Amino acid sequence: MGLLHGYSVRRDRADKMRWILENSHSFFVSSYSGLMGERGSDAFPWRLVWKVGAPTKVAFFTWEVQWEAILTMSNLQRRGFKLASRCPMCKMEEETVNHLLIHCGVASDLWSLILSLFGVH
């Protein structure tokens, strides 16, 4: 069959997926984030997120927050879902990423409780 995008097709081997941005050919979100580029003046310190040794779920959530990709009511509405946009916790304002994680009074109280459980005041 010849070459397909620079790779030879081998009939004697099973197909497998390979991520060409990593020498190991394994997919890592951190290598994908490099494709997305910087966001101008609000560039995010990606190295800190991916290299600090935080659990993958925490790093991925941080990455989603930075790109405002977590499924808030406002993000779901932008994707075509017909939903009320009020924050389900405080029922006061539109549920955006910033409101949910920073400005919501209920979320703020919850963050304070969690941080106090870990001895952070």
CA distances from 44 to 25, 50, 60, 88 (A): 26, 11, 13, 28
pLDDT digits (tens, 9 = 90+) for 11-33: 788 777 777 777 887 877 777 66
In the chain, % of residues over pLDDT 90: 12
Q: Are 2 and 9 in contact (CB under 8 A)?
A: yes
